[in-house]
Structure 1
Amino acid sequence: MIKRITLISASIALGCLATIGPVLTSIYIADRDVEMRDRAELGDLADKAVMRTELVTYQAFAALSDLGREPGAPCSPPNLEQAARVVYNYRYIQDAGAYGDGRYLCSPLLGDVRTRDLSLPPPDYRSNDGYLVWFQRKSPLSDVRKDILIGRNGYYVSIDPNSYVDLVDPARRPIAAIQTTTGRLLAVSPGADPDEMLDAWKQGGKVKNDQWNYAVARSATRPLAVVVKSARSSVAGDWPKVLAAWLSIGVVAGAALGWLAYRRVTRQLSFPATLEWAISRRKIDVVYQPIVRLVDEQCIGVEALVRWTLNGRSISPEVFVRVAEENRLIQPLTDLVLEKSIAELGRLLVANPSFYVSINVSCDDLRTLRFLNLLRASLEGTGITPAQIRVEATERSFMNVDATRGVIAAFRAAGHPVYIDDFGTGYSSLSYLQTFEVDVLKIDKSFVDTIVQDAASSVVAPHIIAMAHELGVEIVAEGVESRAQAAWLLNKGVQYAQGWYYAKAMSASELVLWLTKSRVPREADGRIHDRLVVDAIGTRQHDSRSQG
């Protein structure tokens, strides 16, 4: 009962969550949406920034190429004139000139300084294609400014580092340009922390920070990258329209899901959940209806049937089995029947190896080997043979031919005979009988009821019997309620029957008494199976003690 109350409480909680959850989720999604918008916008800025670094670098390389085109010795008047044109023609070039032997030689701004000792230290980086780079090189023309020098073949150009990060950005978001081969900063915009930007590049922009977003973009042609960052937006303060849109969706979804959850919860609380609780608490009973051999009316086995009493009232199996199928409870229900059948009839089955119990299985258990594997594990060490646990399935279970054929064959290969239950009530019976190999057909009670009457449907049973004989399978007639029916079936060659004429379904202890008193199975030589009686009585006494 405590578990039942817990289930009800959980269902109500889930109903509330279904209503409130979408609203809270919409707020979360709105926050993520704003974050994605921020990152997309920041990514666009990073792409523009890396294009700027490529443009500045391209101009430096083009300027160096132009410096070498004018014939004449470095620092000659024509050569200096060409350098002046380069400075004028290229926007990002601040100065251009010649160097050699570790010294500045000349430039339009420096003039001819070969007689002066303006040293130029070794470069900070040498590329594979011959370019030399000096990072943050102090200019001879300024006491504070540091430029980037790029040189090749004795010529150099000077670039203001801010050219790499000087983008038109109304938000003035911090930008850093990085030479990726060396991991050196080329430039960083005013106010940005160089160490922070360099660390963000090393992490690929994936920095955990509650206040800032970062983005990294890399050049596809040069060893260059940029890092940009921006403050995280507030969904309520910066994007109120986005929040309103997502909240509207959340409220509508919450109302819809809340209504659906209400209907679902009320339905679950009324019957399916109660059934699930009953199965899990083993409140479902198993009863056994004898199956007799018509020729001598000896009981040779039983069919396991389910019964459920709820609040003192018996629930029809047709009702709760259908509910179990619709709510994915049929497999746990079948498992419970198997468990109880082995526990309650174990001694009886071991004492009489020819006696068996048949168990109804669902469509789901004819599509996979799940139930067969459970059967094997359950019988291990019990002394019960596979042939003593038989499998019954309705016609509609066989409709999925591809999925079912192999499973049916596996049951039979493992020694479990397969029955087709309620035969004649499904579709295309003859076609799937030719497709599947089965052991027994069970004629549905609706056809047995008509066999001694002049009803139009009375011709069906003879056809089913003839079909079974033609295919070489045995027959069990269900719902036999009179001696006339039994005699007619025996005359038609039907081997087995079950029904109220012989016995109603009964509990395990009642079955033992019934077998002991009147229909104890016999050995082939006709002797009474004394061991069966002794063990059966022991089982009944054990059951009595358990109930007490």
Structure 2
Amino acid sequence: MSPRLTALTTFCAVAFAVLATLAVAMYASDAVTERQQRQQIDVFSRRALLRAELVTAEAEAALRQLAPYGGTPCTNDHLQRLRQAEEQFRYIREAGWTDGVRLRCTSLQGPIDVALPPPTWTFGDGFTAWHTETGGPGNERSMLNVRFGNHVVVIDSRFYLDIVPLDDTIELAMLETQDAAVISRWAHAGHDLVRAALRRESASEYFQGRYYVVERSRRYPIAVVAYEPEDRLRANLLGQIRNVLPPAFVVSAFGTWLVMRWRRKLRTPRNALLEGIRRHQFVAWMQPLVSLETGRCVGAEALVRWKLEDGTMVAPDTFIPMAESLGLIEPITDQVVRSVFEGVGTALANRRDLHVSINLAGGDLACTRVLDTLKTCLAKYAVRPEQIWFEVIERTLVDTATSAPVLETYRAAGHRVFIDDFGTGYSSLSYLQALPVDGIKLDRSFLRSFLRSFATGEETNKIVPHIIEMAHSLGLMMVAEGVETQAQARYLRAHGVQYAQGWLYAKAMPADEFLRYLQHEAAATGNA
């Protein structure tokens, strides 16, 4: 293939990748936004239905209270009863009595003689209702008359939907569900539109250029219909793509130049990771973990490193997210487990007070597969289960219903479980109580910020003391990451933090260096 054709092919591939990425990002962003807005409408419609049910329930209560009256109708005593009902119930604007054919008296007008109109809608136990208009020209108001037996109560229809609008484009209406008669609606809510939406089978859908939500009451034959214009929720993806085409082509041209320059050195990430797994290039380095009470090393955290053929060590921040996205994290975790035992398995067998913490990725929490790998290593090196701890990053534990049984299995096998980088994800008291864990690791970013402010006497960061207090209240052990000074260690020890790791003690190191670290510590303390 000629260089010109190669460059053209590369440019097309890069341009496609850039545009696809932008399209996916925009689509995902629009989808999330649309889902959130639809959820807002769903919640709004439920609130509206609760309000409508409240007003309806009050009308029912007032009528049932008036129904037992056995005295002579429309006397002063009866009118006083009607006025008491009007005053007692918040949404009742007038109460009256009918002989079944004509309205004979009301709480506001006293004795009258008005023919009853036919009911607009009915519901169970003998309740009927109809609308009347009140007010002068330009100030008309629709009033709903609800009848039970010989008594009638009048409600301003606006009360049914008297809630704060979600935005300036949402519309709302309340209907009865038998004949789809509109009881109350906002000024711009389409009469025919809301009736058509009510008759559809779906409770929420896009229909006639709008997104509808229909909430039906379980107590009364009423429903609330809320809708928004479709273009308010759904963005124009093609229009967005047209806007980004010029910068996308510029980026593609630059990307093509980079690809052409480095194409001989480039390998696909998946192939590189698979080769690393096949060659057992993923090894465990150890960062000592120190007891703040005794100052002695009681264990280490196993940190994965990718050792390339030329001896270069690749930090996990570079390849772990890539391995997770490609579904290759599980074999890497298995290699880390084996590397831990190959490096310090004998030391763990000789020192029962020593442990190693192994990090679990999100994919490792889908099942207890790691325990199968671990079981073989424990038996081979005569290491006890309690000498292997596990650390789980907090953001992977969002679904506690799924995570909790898996973590409980690890603990039942004799291992301790800690939440790593605590405070950076979804932490809360109820969240911790729902998870079977033994302790937490204080994230170094929070700890560093707090201890820096503490050292200056300002102590403006209150997160760390709060986390420590919360851990004490739940009986959880604590490990502080990123400890760099003796002053920091003294503060943590004074506040009941049990363990620490950081550059004050040692950086992460290969397994053989860690063994020498232990020997040097033993010699220095006379425990060799």
Please indicate the TM-score interval, normalised by the length of the shorter structure: 0.3 to 0.5
TM-score in terms of structure 2 length: 0.47
TM-score in terms of structure 1 length: 0.45
